[in-house]
Amino acid sequence: MERRDFMKLSAAGTVAGLSLATVNRAAAGSQPTPPGDLYYTEASQGRWAGKGKTHLPLIETSKDGGKTKVKVTTTHEMKAYEHYIVKHVLLDKDYKFLAEHLFDPTKEPLPVSEFTLDNYSGTLYALSLCNKHDLWLSSAEI
């Protein structure tokens, strides 16, 4: 088998497996959750134990009519491209993408993102991606 054929077959198998897992969870009525080894949390800091204080995104929310204002802050210093927060990502209660903000570590001294969501309620997840210490997840109820 040629390498390209092998790669195509491997990718197709992975997609099929992920699709079946999602269908099985949906059929069982459970909410899909990302695997815990994809990210770190306050309770599960894994190999980066002790790094949570400066890597976990802090979520602040406020309501303004039908709009929800969300401010995400990571108290991580930005050391140019040597060590910095790459981006913040917002996910809804089903872990679906809502918004993101990419940082320029040469221009932004602190990773702070502001978002406005229409009529949102429920759990909101924020991800903070560090170029050296991986992906960190926090949540807030709105």
Residues 17 and 58 in one domain: no
Sheet holding 97-102, edge to edge: 97-102, 85-91, 123-130, 134-141
Residues 45 and 80 in one domain: yes
What's residue 1's pLDDT? 57
Helix, strand, coil in percent for the chain, rounding step 5: 25, 35, 35
Q: What CATH number does residue 91 fall under? A: 2.60.40.730
What's residue 119's pLDDT? 85
pLDDT tens digits for the chain (142 residues)?
A: 566 555 555 554 544 444 434 444 444 455 555 555 689 999 999 999 999 999 999 999 999 888 999 999 999 999 999 999 999 999 999 999 999 999 999 999 999 999 999 989 999 999 999 999 999 999 999 9
Residues 67 and 96 in one domain: yes
Please give the distance of CA 50 from its chain centroid, rounded to a whole number: 19
Residues 133 and 101 in one domain: yes
Residues 42 and 65 in one domain: yes
On whether the CB atoms of residues 137 and 127 are closer than 8 A, the answer is yes
Residues 12 and 55 in one domain: no
Range(s) of the domain holding residue 81: 36-141
Total of domains in the chain: 2
Please give the distance of CA 64 from its chain centroid, rounded to a whole number: 25
pTM of the entire predicted model: 0.74
- What tokens appear for 65 in the block? 């009519």
What's residue 15's pLDDT? 42
Residues 23 and 46 in one domain: no
Residues 21 and 77 in one domain: no
Residues 25 and 41 in one domain: no
